[in-house]
Structure 1
Amino acid sequence: MEPRATILIVDDSPENIDVLNGILKPYYRVKAALSGQLALKIVAGANKPDLILLDIMMPGMDGHEVCRLLKANPLTVDIPIIFITAKTAVEDEQIGLELGAVDYISKPVSIPIVLARVNTHLALYNQQRELELKVKERTHEIQQTRREIIDRLGRAAEYKDNETGMHVIRMSRYSKMLAEKIKAPDNWVDLLYNAAPMHDVGKIGIPDKILLKPGKLTPEEWQEMQKHVQYGADIIGNHESELLKMAREIALYHHEKYDGSGYPHGTVGDEIPLSARIVAIADVFDALTSERPYKTAWSLQTTFEYIQNEAGKHFDPELVPHFIACEEQIIAIKERFADSQSDAEC
């Protein structure tokens, strides 16, 4: 017997929640939140709802803002949202649908309408997930070929630098591991895994005298080095492909820091794309724990301590604990793809 779907009801009125709970509880698992802020915390938890019934008029954070935030987050963008509200003007419905809601139910609610709409959109959501799984299975060979091409493109930049091709192998796997740890959708994890190796492709455009300089860069040379993020974005270009879109945002933002002290734009906090925030941790960790002609490798303990100390400064403080918790997986990846291996072993 399949587990029952979970419905999250968000409404500032306990009476309204009781009504909807009474309608839905015989058929579904029901959760409830009396505010938009609490709803976001519930959705961010380990067990995400399969569908959200969302009131619009709530004090503090209204339903429109809750919907906007959920649809802007790749971890929650696919969850169907149905607005349940007394606001029934065409303009109100248009705003909700433009924000990404799938439907509207007017108050006072009708039992048959609530059950029918919820059932319909859960069925559509399940069909969508099944279709995505079938497409994923049927395109596995294409994805493998694409992965190999992307790895080679990423290595082109590494061979021009003082790093090895194994760097892109390891950091892309660290990135995938962290994305899976925060329970990102499978399709998004795959995009990240395939896009991450292109993070430093812009180094191809940096002069060798700067890129290969053994000593400290001058301020002018450092300014030129920072341009590799824009070069990478330009090389990848603007495309409709979701993979290349993510690759471009990673290339452009992976040197931004959570506190705004990074480059090229000084982007702050969650304004940095999630993909780049994940890659930033993976990239720095691998760089610090790897030996290079100009530096010795840091110990794992020292590197983990550094990553932890940089939470909220360089790195997203929400991601760092998840990364630290993956220590055993990280060590396994590091050992499996050590720099002493040949390309054939990748």
Structure 2
Amino acid sequence: MSTLHELLMPYLKLADAVIITDINHVILAVNAPYEKITGYGESEITGKKASVLRTSYTPKETHDQMKRALSLGLSWSGVFTNRRRDSSIWHSSITITVIEIDEAFYYIGIFRELEKLKSGFYLPEERIGSIQSSMLKVLAISCEIRDPGIEQHLVRVRELTERLTHFHNERLQLNWPEELVNRITHASILHDIGKSGIPEGILYKPGPLAYYERQIVEMHTQIGVDIIDKIYAGLNDDLFHQELEMGKNIILYHHEKWDGSGYPHQLAGEDIPIEARIVSVVDVFDALTSIRPYKDKWSEERALAFITEQRGLHFDPELVDSFLALIQSHSN
């Protein structure tokens, strides 16, 4: 403690757990809350590398991001899964700030134990994403269980939606956060759950539909939204709130067309939510290139020609350009 610069001492009085290291990540001091959380006394942990608490549960990418930021003199925030002195696991949200004093650099790490937050538990982002994706897939498949090929279609739509969303974001430099891309991807699998309310005789009828049959099929968008509303009313859980809200937009609007001739509300252009415009392209492409009870499978070339023809009519022109470029890059 005597070797610690006096200007760093006030940090140890914070109510949160605090660790102070030198530029080489050697621990110089910790405060009482840190000792309580980790089980390490200051005298036994001082002089050790901060990695003494490290576990393999924290992704390597997290440590790499931290090192890159600190090497540039930038502050960094993230989540660590660490090990206490008694070998038990704890999760912490940490902010590390670089401090320069008398031409020497120090790292001030401020921890909060996530297990102590009001929610009562902590789920890493990766696990939340996995749970959301899996649960939405189960929901979508259970609503369309009558079609034995539906699972493959839903998975293909989800995977291609993810690729197209990433590609479109990068091509146009839209700066969409990864969280938004993930929400669109997860929610895309819900696009046709409303078809569970359409009679099979109409849904899988070979040949053209009569006018009244077409009207019934088009009701699947509103039926799907009603299903989501009922699920969310019963679930009342923030874990799925954003995905279900995004899902409602996709369900309701993925049959709208860029020129305003779609259904159910004849929206046009950018009035159609972007997530619905993305799924519209992907869904049509996968439907065309798949065998259905009422149609033969189209070749990829024929399906791409149709997508191209419908640029600015059925589909968002920029999304068509991204989709064609994505498929082209994948085939090279």
Q: In structure 2, what is the Cα distance between the partners aligned to 1:179 and 1:158?
A: 25
Matches of 1:318 and 1:190 in 2, distance apart? 20
The equivalences for 1:210-225 within 5 A come to 210-225=202-217
Change (3 A) 1:249 1:330: farther
Q: Counterpart in 1 of 2:168?
A: 182
**2:131 alignment counterpart:** 145
2:189 counterpart of 1:203: no
Return the offset for 1:158.
3.7
Cα drift, residue 131 of structure 1: 5.8
Alpha-carbon offset, residue 161 of structure 1: 4.1
Contact 1:259–1:312 (Cα < 8 Å) also in 2? yes
Distance (whole Å) between structure 2 residues aligned to residue 210 and residue 329 of structure 1: 38
Distance in 2, Cα, partners of 1:139 & 1:200 = 27
The 1:163–1:260 alpha-carbon spacing in structure 2 relative to 1, beyond 3 Å, is: farther
**Greater mean alpha carbon deviation, residues 172-181 or residues 280-289:** 172-181
- Partner of 2:183 in structure 1? 191
Q: CA offsets, 1:193-242, max 9 Å, x none? A: 11000000011111222112223211011101100000011111185611
Cα 1:214–1:163, aligned 2, differ >3 Å: closer, same or farther?
farther
Where in structure 2 are the equivalents of 1:72-221 lying within 5 Å? Answer: 138-161=124-147, 163-183=149-169, 184-221=176-213
Match of 2:282 in 1: 282
Which AA in structure 2 matches 1:292? R
Residue 272 of structure 1 corresponds to 272
Question: Does structure 1 conserve the Cα–Cα contact (< 8 Å) formed by 2:269 and 2:316?
Answer: yes
Segments of 5+ residues of structure 1 without an aligned counterpart are 1-125, 333-346
Give the Cα separation in 2 of the matches to 1:263 and 1:314: 11
1:248 aligns with 2:270: no
Corresponding pairs, count: 206
Q: Which residue of 2 aligns with 1:53?
A: none
Q: Given that residues 311 and 317 in structure 2 are in contact (C-alpha distance below 8 angstroms), is that contact kept between their aligned partners in structure 1?
A: yes
3-state SS of paired residue (2:138): helix
Distance in 2 between residues matched to 1:154 and 1:331, nearest whole Å: 30
Whole-angstrom CA distance in 1 between matches of 2:329 and 2:144 = 24
1:185 offset after TM fit, Å? 1.9
Distance 2:282 2:292 in 1: 17
Q: Deviations over 1:58-99 (max 9, x none)?
A: xxxxxxxxxxxxxxxxxxxxxxxxxxxxxxxxxxxxxxxxxx
> Matches of 1:330 and 1:278 in 2, distance apart?
18
Which whole-Å CA distance do the structure 2 matches of 1:201 and 1:300 have between them?
26
The structure where strand makes up a greater share of residues is 2
CA distance in 2 between partners of 1:207 and 1:263 (Å): 19
Alpha-carbon offset, residue 313 of structure 1: 0.3
TM-score in terms of structure 2 length:
0.57
Deviations along 1:111-145, one digit per CA (max 9) or x if unpaired, are xxxxxxxxxxxxxxx98x95699899923123212
Q: TM-score, normalised by structure 1?
A: 0.55
Q: How many Å separate the matches in 2 of 1:273 and 1:256?
A: 10
Query: Bigger CA drift: 296-305 or 207-216?
Result: 207-216
| Aligned twin of 1:229 | 221
**For residue 308 of structure 2, what is the aligned residue in structure 1?**
308
CA–CA distance in structure 2, aligned partners of residues 311 and 171 of structure 1: 20
Question: What SS is found at the alignment partner of 1:159?
Answer: coil
SS in structure 1 of the partner of residue 276 of structure 2: helix
Alpha carbons of structure 1 residues 212 and 293: separation in structure 2 relative to 1, 3 Å: closer
Output the aligned Cα RMSD.
Answer: 2.8
- Note the 1:37-52 alignment, pairs <5 A: none
Alpha-carbon distance between aligned partners in 2 of 1:251 and 1:277, rounded to the nearest angstrom? 11
Return the offset for 1:263.
0.2
Q: What code does the residue aligned with 1:218 have?
A: A
Q: Deviations over 1:149-179 (max 9, x none)?
A: 2112222344324742110101111111111
2:261 maps to 261
Residues 1:178 and 1:137: Cα distance change in structure 2 (over 3 Å): farther
- Which runs of no fewer than 5 residues in structure 2 stay unpaired? 1-73, 81-92, 94-113, 115-121, 170-175, 233-237
Which residue of the partner structure matches residue 51 of structure 1?
none
